[in-house]
Amino acid sequence: MTSQPPQGSTHSGSSTTTDQSPVPPLRSLPGSYGWPVVGPFLDRLHFSWFQGPEAFFRARMEKYKSTVFRTNVPPCFPFFAGVNPNVVAMLDVKSYSHMFDPEIADKRDTFLGDFMPSLGYSGGQRTVPYLDTEETKHTQIKRFGLDILKRSSKVWISELEANLDEAWAKVEADVSSKGRAKFVNPLKLCMFKLLIKCFLGVDVSESPEIAESGVSIVDIWFILMLLPTISQNVFQPLEGIFIHTFAYPSFLVRRGYNKLADFIRTRGHEVVQRGVTEYGLSEEEAVHNLFFMIGFNAFEGFNLLLPDLLNQLLSDQTGLQDRLRVEARQMGGPVLTFDSVKQMPHIRSLVYETLRFNPRVPLQYARARKDFRLSSHEASFDIKKGELLCGYQVLVARDPVVFDDPESFKPDRFVGEKGTELLKYLIWSNGPETGTPTESNKQCMGKEYVVLTASVIVAYLLRRYDSMAGDGSTITALEKVK
């Protein structure tokens, strides 16, 4: 089975604006960084412990009567001496859109703010998320990644369906024998096998060790690398002491990381060499960027999206499953493809709304490349060159000026002419949904694959089952189609 690669908008840029209204009046930038050491430390406690990220930003937005203000975002003191936590927070669509303008937004080493994990987590390489569009390596690696995705479209759907068959057969067996089943781990293995096949052109079964431990290798690598920036606010004060106080050294993941990197280097040799000969990368650059693309951008991205998406489908009490099941079975023809799910607007809208309501990457950063004037819906602010901009997508995606009833999950929000118009304000992919990833912007190169793959999975399940019941990550009942 083959499928045409997903096509995005013909618009190649990533800029978006909320309207064509005049520039709002100039205002001095509110907020404060507080006393040195003390201010960042107190903000860290509020951000990670006393309030949590969402309440932290909401409280300051209310205090300053502005969606743009100065504050501190961890990690910071005491063991992050070289990290400056001072940021300009942007919490509405209009101000946040400045992040997509490469003329003013420098993305060099700002993927996680002013904090950057040890290069030991990426084989000594600055991988593409840490590169700015003005760096030659960004262009080379982005083109390499886009080429891999284009080539993978020939097998993406057939591999996805084969792995879904295996994953849901396991879920069905567990429901039958135990009365309930966790779907997260089977789904993780499904996506890992898919991504190895599509990115490297090989079956993960070629290495029994990677087939057995690959998922856990990536999960542990991902978590330890990001621990200083993750705020769960569950086991306080232990979380604050052991997670947000220092960065975890990369040697903790080195053994597993090297195993998977060696698998990419040897089993994916043809793809690695294409990066070298056609895109001017060194072998190490190709290997470790492939690791990052597969492990971070794709695998962990799907791991964050899919359980949330399926939970929305399972927990709905309004008849959503039945409505979407009709669309899945009546539209798109007998065989699922990227093109067929484009004929299922309500299923795609469910995916879009899941991405809006719970963005996969809550915080996005950029450094001001030059002095410029930043506008929110209500005011303009002078930003100085070098200031770190921070957008909190959870609130940006709930901008009440743009989205009606933004705090409610509405699965049909993006259906119809008005819904389609809202897509230019959906910014989960480091750019508007109407934009197209290119080597000249920082938009997620797999943006179209994420939405369409998630849509295919929903349609697959609705065609496979007449009913599904469960909550969270647990399936309690499945009725296969007769």
pLDDT tens digits, one per residue of 352-373: 999 999 999 999 999 999 999 9
User: Would you say residue 19 lies in a domain?
Assistant: no
User: Would you say residue 409 lies in a domain?
Assistant: yes
Q: pTM (2 decimals)?
A: 0.94
For residue 16, name the pLDDT band (cuts at 50, 70, 90): very low
Asked whether residue 190 is marked as a ligand-binding residue, the answer is: no
Residue 9: predicted pLDDT: 43
Report whether pLDDT(1) > 50.
no
Task: State how far the Cα of 83 lies from the Cα of 373, in Å rounded to an integer.
Answer: 26
Residue 233: predicted pLDDT: 60
Among 226, 288, 284, 216, smallest CA distance to 256 is for: 216
Task: State how far the Cα of 91 lies from the Cα of 406, in Å rounded to an integer.
Answer: 13
210-213: long-range contacts at Cβ-Cβ below 8 A with a sequence spacing of 24 or more? 210/259, 210/260, 210/263, 213/256, 213/259
User: Would you say residue 376 lies in a domain?
Assistant: yes
User: Would you say residue 368 lies in a domain?
Assistant: yes
Mean pLDDT computed over every residue of the chain: 93
Number of C-beta neighbours around residue 87 at 10 A: 24
Q: Which domain holds residue 232?
A: 38-480
Position of tokens 């299922």? Answer: 344
pLDDT tens digits for range 284-303: 999 999 999 999 999 999 99
User: Would you say residue 27 lies in a domain?
Assistant: no
pLDDT tens digits for range 298-344: 999 999 999 999 999 999 889 999 999 999 999 999 999 999 999 99
Residue 238: predicted pLDDT: 67
Task: State how far the Cα of 396 lies from the Cα of 414, in Å rounded to an integer.
Answer: 17
User: Would you say residue 14 lies in a domain?
Assistant: no
Among 192, 216, 222, 186, smallest CA distance to 204 is for: 192
Span 133-148, mean pLDDT?
98
User: Tell me, what DSSP letter sits at residue 252?
Assistant: G
Contacts of 397 (CB under 8 A, 6+ apart): 356, 357, 359, 403, 406, 426, 427, 428
For residue 81, name the pLDDT band (cuts at 50, 70, 90): confident
Question: Which percentage of the chain shows pLDDT scores above 90?
Answer: 85
Report whether pLDDT(258) > 50.
yes
pLDDT tens digits for range 157-169: 999 999 999 999 9
The domain total for the chain is 1
Span 97-107, mean pLDDT?
97
Contacts of 424 (CB under 8 A, 6+ apart): 16, 432, 433, 434
pLDDT tens digits for range 190-246: 999 999 999 999 999 999 999 999 999 999 999 999 988 887 666 666 666 667 678
Q: Which helix (H) or strand (E) holds 157?
A: helix 156-178
> Residue 381 in contact with residue 66, Cβ under 8 Å?
no
CATH code of residue 392: 1.10.630.10
User: Would you say residue 198 lies in a domain?
Assistant: yes
User: Would you say residue 11 lies in a domain?
Assistant: no
For residue 76, name the pLDDT band (cuts at 50, 70, 90): confident
For residue 20, name the pLDDT band (cuts at 50, 70, 90): low
Span 388-414, mean pLDDT?
98
